[in-house]
Amino acid sequence: MLMASRFLRRHSPMMSGPDVLELQTLLAVQGLDPGPLDGIFGPLTELALRRFQKCQNLQDDGLAGTDTWRALTRGYDYGAVEVPDEEPVPDEEPVEGPVENTAALPKIHVHVDTRILTMIRGGTITAYPVAVGKTSTPSPVGEWKVVFKSMNPGGPFGTRWMRLSVPWGGYGIHGTNNPNSIGKAVSHGCIRLYNVDVEKLYNLTPIGTPVSITGTVRKIRTLKYGMRGEDVLQVEQMLFDLGYMSLSPNSFYGRATQRAVQAFQRDHKLARTGRVGRSTLKALQVAYDRTMDDINP
């Protein structure tokens, strides 16, 4: 389980969306040149990102992950209220001004276990089915607010985008180009709705609207020989799909899993510990996304 939104990176075709536009804007604020602020991750955006990472003593891999987002948004205030198991880091100011009368705002609640979003507005409760983060990249449980909105972002974001005040990635509530995904745990942490539903929700959601995401919080642990669990199964499945395991995943971290992890670590120039900690898990998720051509939010 990795607390990260989709990894923004060079890809063919080029990745695009409101999260890329935000990344470009933050790089420009740092005095770097990401090229046109067009929401398309091109060569200039990668170059600016690598320069920022070098200046921050981060791994200059040209990939916008958790550490890069934290560094970029440091010094901004998105108004995050609670960040379970994470050190809160201030985030970016909303593009539109905050709503002063918070008592008049609607409230949005997302329950990741039931995959239902409810809006409470003026005594009326409306419920919508949603897609949420998969167990390897879960939706961020906590108390947030809507800090930015945009119409017709297109592609996997569907017809509407509402950015949440999560400081370690580009999380939001949005539409979809894959309606069959609604009701499932398949995203990189974002909350997806049918386009017809997100359009209704968008019109009723001012900047500053509080969003509560609740559900099972899965602890991140270092996986090693002898362990069992769903997180072991997730790692084994990725190793299997990447060709490092020949045995079917079985949720037990045995010798075969340990050898597969060591082989992966060797190929990705990581310490060959045979354990899956944060660095190995991130590298594994990135490799999996690239191999599976997964660029969805």
Query: What are the phi and psi torsion angles at 144 (to 5°)?
Result: -130, -175
Distances (CA, A) of 173 to 67, 140, 141, 148, 287: 22, 12, 14, 11, 26
Q: Would residue 55 show up in a list of annotated catalytic residues for this protein?
A: no
| Helix, strand, coil % over all residues of the chain, rounded to 5 | 30, 20, 50
State the Cα–Cα distance between residues 180 and 161, nearest whole angstrom.
19
Helices (H), the chain: 18-29, 43-55, 66-73, 195-203, 230-241, 255-267, 278-291
DSSP letter string, 128-165: EE-BEE-TTS----EEEEEEEEEE---GGGTTEEEEE-
Q: Would residue 190 show up in a list of annotated catalytic residues for this protein?
A: yes
Kind and range of the H or E run holding 186:
strand 185-187
Of 55, 109, 111, 190, catalytic: 190
**How, if at all, do strands 132-133 and 185-187 pair?**
parallel
Kind and range of the H or E run holding 124:
strand 124-129
Residue that is written with structure tokens 């983060």 in the block: 133
Query: What are the phi and psi torsion angles at 128 (to 5°)?
Result: -135, 140
Prior bond of 156 cis (ω within 30°): no
Of 11, 174, 188, 268, catalytic: 174
Contact between 35 and 44 (Cβ < 8 Å): yes
Give the residue numbers annotated as catalytic, written as ranges.
174, 190
